[in-house]
Amino acid sequence: MELLFTGGRVLTIDALDRVVSGVAVRDGRIVAVGDDAEVRQAVSPDAAQVELRGRALAPGFCDPHNHFSMTTFEPRSVDCRVPPLAGKAGVLEAIAAAAAGCPPGQWIWGLGYSGGGRELGAALLRGELDDAAPNNPVCVMDFSYHACYANSAAMALGGITRDTPDPRGGEILRDASGEAAGMLWERAMNPVHQASMRAHIDRLGPDVVAGLVDQNARRHLSHGVTSVGDAVVMPESAEIYRLADERGKLPIVVHQMRGGNGFFAAPEAAAEGSFLADDVSDRLRGGIVKLFMDPVFPSFTMTKCHPDGSLEDVGTPYYEQDEVDQLVINAARHGLQTAIHCLGNRAIDMALNAYERVQREVPREDPRYRIEHFFFGNREQMERAASLGVMISHQPAFLYSVGPGLGAYAAENGIDSTVLPYREMLDSGVTVASGSDFPCAPVEPLLGLHSAVSRRSRDGQVVAPEQAISAREGLRTYTINSAAAMFRDHEVGSIEVGKRADLVVLSHDPSLVTPEYIREIVVQQTYVDGKLEYALGAPA
């Protein structure tokens, strides 16, 4: 099977960042890159031809931090985002409508409620959810995915009673009488969240679940994404991937970033090498452990600086320093990569300390240790990461969705970091891989690229414009750097001879349009291993 692309702007993202006009592909691999005449010679005259007519061809986007397994059930869930729903009342109405068509006892899973945050008054309360769905267990995820809201039936199935103590690293919000009020923060959400996912898998059965995985993969392909790292694989996530893979329903590559038994559970077993068989197939891979260093609720693990110069430590980390060190060291002894979620500046320090120690105790040539998010890091921490060879896995679309809020938070709390400091990160020499964190931020790489280049948020504010990077720099973070974060740069991430033909046809070259218009660029075709897996306008 041969394929020939000609007449385009082929953004190779190779070491010289060459732009050429053509690419030839044979049996899923790139066999020639160059001008049209050169690439024509590399294949037979009857190769399938794609005339790019000036459109751009880029490497398929790699999304190293994406909660794919959590969005797989979206078609069977209730969309609880506000907006479009009108506040809490709108969400409760949507839950009631879902309950009306649902057999008693069947779980209702809501996604994306954003009314909670730090204001408990906006939380969905247990009694309110009981009224909306008196005969069904209900679990509504907060948009942060660091909390959920549950009714009485869901609490009962999750084993949460009045006497259940708060787990370490989590809190059961309680009313004045001491009863669980409905909101479960961080680790406290694990049992309800996991029970909901478990029940969905069991009720829908393997074929439907595999079909949902395939649908979700096709949504990602429609945005040009050809591989994802699932940033918390719990046992249920691993199960759905295997169901899909066995049935040939995995059209993209998924890297399983192993967590524990529950979304925020400690990945002790993973660090001890229990999942070395996660390299299941060419499409379903493993080799990386994910852990959370700090929570969102009630606060990131942060050192704040007050106006009088005094410092205050807030936000309890999930692990003591020695505990995180041990997890990372154990993982290293099994040859595993580690990715640590860090939002606050103190969490970032703890992760860097762990990586420094592991390289002393279990030195490895190229371990590609990762810090996820790095939201409130400063220049010194970037340089420290660079000197340790630690990669930063960042998500530019957060600038679009919550950028101004992050900036206000840093300013209010005297934190010496800038919102998504892309210019500074690249200048510090640290390798930055860009992804989405979907569903916590929008999934589209072109929207993220738009944010990194234009620095414009959803409401039109320009956030820290001095941190803008060029479209070509941004594309590199979404392709070759993201591939490297997943140990895939030898096979994808650039358009070079010998690599897999994971390619995306874009209506325009992002480096030739005004920054504000990057998000208007259309993904027209997506290829995985030289096979057309998405085409604009093609029947699903």
Alpha-carbon span 90 to 51, nearest angstrom: 48
Least Cβ distance, residue 219 to Zn ion (angstroms) = 18
Alpha-carbon span 100 to 102, nearest angstrom: 6
Q: Which is nearer to Zn ion, 128 or 142 (CB)?
A: 142
Interacting positions 434-453 with Zn ion (CB under 5 A): 437
Interacting positions 246-275 with Zn ion (CB under 5 A): none
**231 contacts Zn ion (rule: CB under 5 A):** yes
Least Cβ distance, residue 508 to Zn ion (angstroms) = 30
- Rounded to a whole number of angstroms, the distance between the first and last alpha carbons of the chain is 23
C-alpha 508: how far from chain center? 25
- Residues whose CB is less than 8 angstroms from the CB of residue 40 and which lie 6 or more positions away in sequence, other chains included: 4, 6, 22, 24
Q: Nearest CA to 142 among 96, 186, 205, 200?
A: 186
Cα separation values, 352 from 272, 344, 346, 378, 434, Å: 21, 13, 10, 13, 19
Q: Nearest CA to 219 among 73, 78, 81, 110?
A: 73
Q: Which is nearer to Zn ion, 285 or 373 (CB)?
A: 373
- What crossing angle do the helices spanning 235-246 and 190-222 adopt, rounded to 10°? 40
Binding part of the chain for Zn ion, among 229-237, 378-386, 442-450, 470-478 by CB under 5 A, reads 229-237
Least Cβ distance, residue 197 to Zn ion (angstroms) = 16
Alpha-carbon span 522 to 420, nearest angstrom: 25
Burial of 140 (0-12, 13-18, 19+ CB in 10 A): buried
Residue count, binding to Zn ion (CB under 5 A): 2
Binding part of the chain for Zn ion, among 159-167, 230-238, 290-298, 348-356 by CB under 5 A, reads 230-238
The strand pair at 284-292 and 253-258 is best described as: parallel
Least Cβ distance, residue 395 to Zn ion (angstroms) = 8
Reading the block at residue 511, the tokens are 């480096």
Reading the block at residue 390, the tokens are 């630690």
Q: Which is nearer to Zn ion, 40 or 370 (CB)?
A: 370
Least Cβ distance, residue 67 to Zn ion (angstroms) = 6
The strand pair at 56-59 and 9-11 is best described as: parallel
Q: Which is nearer to Zn ion, 231 or 492 (CB)?
A: 231
Interacting positions 23-52 with Zn ion (CB under 5 A): none
Least Cβ distance, residue 373 to Zn ion (angstroms) = 7
Least Cβ distance, residue 216 to Zn ion (angstroms) = 16
Q: Which is nearer to Zn ion, 231 or 426 (CB)?
A: 231
Reading the block at residue 162, the tokens are 């009045």
Binding part of the chain for Zn ion, among 87-95, 240-248, 253-261, 431-439 by CB under 5 A, reads 431-439
Least Cβ distance, residue 435 to Zn ion (angstroms) = 9
Binding part of the chain for Zn ion, among 26-34, 223-231, 285-293, 318-326 by CB under 5 A, reads 223-231
Alpha-carbon span 347 to 182, nearest angstrom: 28
Binding string to Zn ion for residues 498 to 527, with x set by CB under 5 A, is what? Answer: ------------------------------
Q: Which is nearer to Zn ion, 374 or 534 (CB)?
A: 374
Binding part of the chain for Zn ion, among 87-95, 231-239, 357-365, 423-431 by CB under 5 A, reads 231-239
**63 contacts Zn ion (rule: CB under 5 A):** no
Least Cβ distance, residue 107 to Zn ion (angstroms) = 23
Q: Nearest CA to 80 among 69, 70, 72, 92?
A: 92
Q: Which is nearer to Zn ion, 443 or 518 (CB)?
A: 443
Least Cβ distance, residue 237 to Zn ion (angstroms) = 13
Reading the block at residue 180, the tokens are 């669980």
Q: Which is nearer to Zn ion, 94 or 147 (CB)?
A: 147
Q: Which is nearer to Zn ion, 152 or 337 (CB)?
A: 337
Reading the block at residue 122, the tokens are 């906006």
Q: Which is nearer to Zn ion, 263 or 534 (CB)?
A: 263
Alpha-carbon span 47 to 62, nearest angstrom: 27
What is the contact surface with Zn ion in residues (CB under 5 A)?
A: 231, 437
